[in-house]
Structure 1
Amino acid sequence: MPHAVARLREERLARSLKPFVARGSRAERCPRCRIVPSHCACAWQPEPGAEAGVCLLMYDVESLKPTNTGWLIADVVASSHAFIWSRTEVDPRLLELLADPQWQPVVVFPAEYAAPERVVDRVDTPEGKRPLFILLDATWTEARKMFRKSPYLDGFPVLSLQPESLSRYRLRRSTRGEHLCTAEVAALCLELVGEARAAQVLDNWLDVFTEHYLGAKRHFSPDITNAAHRALERD
């Protein structure tokens, strides 16, 4: 069964008035891993797991971009949910998810943009609840807009992460190395709540996806003997 981001992509395509054209989007791609067939990474596709949940709020066409890493999160985290963000309309399914008593929603965003009383550096969940990490999947400029203009998130704590290393993401340019891609953020969240194995699987899957994607783009063969490939083979 397609995961949440794959379903959202199909919903977004269905309501498009004209074809979406991103850089490289015209190439034939594997429907599962989104990489051209010559460099398909499906042999290393991990099995979904993790107890924590992830809710991806995706800016308009983000789900259509071949380089989107929210897709990789949904490959790994079984309880993944994805919604297109809108300033004027809120998907009722999103509000239903946020009100579900099994979840403790937490917005993941830098502390400097939130009221101090909302900011936390750890996730404490009441008995019977599981953490639901709300990730704003967009460019940095778009994400700040989403954070400011989503009043239905105002009642939830804001988790401010302090990454110890710079981003390894190589598929889009960023002027600031401390800005992690969405999959890297999700991996830190999983590690924070004791899901170290799922976090490592997600990190490895990001590395494998990146290696294969760039290999197809730059015409080189991915190194299938590197640590990330070997780790996913063992899993």
Structure 2
Amino acid sequence: MNAFQRLRRQRIAMSTRPFQARGGSIIRCEGCGLPEIHCACHLKPSAIPEADFCLLMYDTEPMKPSNTGRLIADVFPENTSAFLWSRTNPDEALLALLNNPDFSPVVVFPDSYVREGEERATLRSTETLSKRPLYILLDGTWSEARKMFRKSPYLDKFPVISVQPETLSAYRLRVAAHDHHLCTAEVAGCLLQQQGDLAAATTLQQWFTLFRERYLMMKPHHKKEA
């Protein structure tokens, strides 16, 4: 199992009642998260990125069928960690990762949210980092991600890097507040592309596209794009 799958099992074990989500009645493959009749495990690619990823996930996010953070763990299983977010009681393994001397942690979030006077540095490129980048992705709805960004004191000391997407989000698996709000997998892909890691970015984008197409097959009003 990759890091997302382990976290998903951990979160399910914590539940006191069944999690109800849109499409939750569909029987899904535990490997890829798609409906079993559209399983794509045999098509799952893998790559070795030039950075590591840390998925910091909001509460029930690992249990949602539409979550795309899982796609990052699918494609980069040896380079992705996943943890549930907590404001006051972060996972000890998360703190150990953030303090690992082999990495330079970077919070991935719009730098426009860094308030004037804050000590947080903002980056345009990871070339200035002295160690391997560890991209911290805040995985949740837009309002949840903002909450995580503001209320995670153990992240405040790390620099912030933004993505500059050239196209609108292709997500469509659940409703976003704005078209320019990217899903987690899209953010990771844009970031890799911006930093010149084109092979890893392309592999992740291909898996995202396949996942999206097969996920949408189950939506009754979905029309296949020409």
The structural deviation recorded for 1:216 is 2.6
TM-score calculated relative to the size of structure 1? 0.88
User: Aligned match of 1:120 in 116, 123, 126?
Assistant: 123
The structural deviation recorded for 1:219 is 8.6
**What amino acid maps onto 1:105 in structure 2?**
P
Larger % of helix: which? Answer: 1
TM-score calculated relative to the size of structure 2? 0.92
C-alpha distance 15-151 of structure 1, shift in aligned 2 (>3 A): same
C-alpha distance 143-208 of structure 1, shift in aligned 2 (>3 A): same
**Contact (CA 8 Å) 1:39, 1:216: kept in 2 or not?**
no
Indicate whether 1:6 and 2:9 are aligned: no
Q: Superposed, which structure 2 residues align to 1:41-190 within 5 Å?
A: 41-77=40-76, 78-115=78-115, 118-127=121-130, 129-190=131-192
Partners of 2:223 and 2:206 in 1: CA distance: 18
The structural deviation recorded for 1:115 is 3.8
**What amino acid maps onto 2:126 in structure 1?**
V
**Contact (CA 8 Å) 1:35, 1:216: kept in 2 or not?**
no
Q: How many residues align?
A: 222
**What amino acid maps onto 1:124 in structure 2?**
E
**Contact (CA 8 Å) 2:164, 2:190: kept in 1 or not?**
no
The structural deviation recorded for 1:132 is 0.6
Gaps of 5+ in 1: 227-235
Once the two structures are superposed, what CA deviation does each residue of 1:145-202 show, in whole Å capped at 9, x if it has no partner?
Answer: 1100001111111002221111111101113111110000001121233211110111
Partners of 2:223 and 2:203 in 1: CA distance: 22
The structural deviation recorded for 1:126 is 4.3
45-54 vs 4-13, which deviates more?
45-54
**Contact (CA 8 Å) 1:108, 1:133: kept in 2 or not?**
yes
SS at match of 1:51: coil
Partners of 2:222 and 2:129 in 1: CA distance: 49
Residue in structure 2 matched with residue 233 of structure 1 by the alignment: none
User: Aligned match of 1:194 in 186, 196, 205?
Assistant: 196
SS at match of 1:218: coil
Across the aligned residues of Structure 1 and Structure 2, the Cα RMSD in angstroms comes to: 2.0
Runs of 4+ in 1 over 6 A off after TM superposition: 219-223
The structural deviation recorded for 1:20 is 1.0
Partners of 1:175 and 1:192 in 2: CA distance: 24
**What amino acid maps onto 2:14 in structure 1?**
R
Partners of 1:218 and 1:196 in 2: CA distance: 35
